[in-house]
Amino acid sequence: MRIVRCRFDAHGKAILEILNDAIVNTTAIYDYQPRPLSAMETWFEAKELQGFPVVGVESDGGDLLGFASFGPFRAWPAYKYTVEHSVYVHPGHRGHGLGAMLTREIIARARADERHVIVGGIDAENLASIRLHEKLGFAHVGTIRHAGFKFGRWLDLALYQLILETPTAPVDG
């Protein structure tokens, strides 16, 4: 297995498959409808335009087993050192350390990009993801009760953050 930089032409369909599985079958994404391939093209364009990474882990045979990215936490300029990340693993490959591998890579990319805080919004019932984030140093900083409604029930969103030692010289503006 190896970490790769994901591109729409090489990985868009595989990422879409992983995302749509999460939308349809889990509470990892508070969304209802599977996304079309055109949405992935727009997503990749936005990530590239804003300089945000999209990384994946590929099998030795070149299959995408999972991916991770980060993006803006909030739109106002003073949040420029804070990002929100997401990590998704193909359902057939969960529980083998790929989520940790991808999260470590995203943390390294955030440091290299001079970010200071990484935020993760995790469904409060997703204990595997919560344990992973805690193991990697993320701290629980709050829960938004009833933040979403899916599968006929209210969902609580647990917020986790990791504070990095970067940037070396933060500036206003």
Full set of structural domains in the chain with CATH: 2-163 (3.40.630.30)
CA-based end-to-end distance of the chain: 41
User: Which residues share a beta bridge with 55?
Assistant: 5, 68
The pLDDT value given to residue 173: 86
The pLDDT value given to residue 129: 96
The pLDDT value given to residue 119: 98
What is the value of pTM for the model shown? 0.94
Q: Find the angle CA(126)-CA(8)-CA(32) to the nearest 5 degrees.
A: 40
| Tens digit of pLDDT at every position of the chain (173 positions) | 999 999 999 999 999 999 999 999 999 999 999 999 999 999 999 999 999 999 999 999 999 999 999 999 999 999 999 999 999 999 999 999 999 999 999 999 999 999 999 999 999 999 999 999 999 999 999 999 999 999 999 999 999 999 999 999 999 98
Spatial CB neighbours of 78, under 8 Å, sequence gap ≥ 6: 172
d(CA 117, CA 102): 17
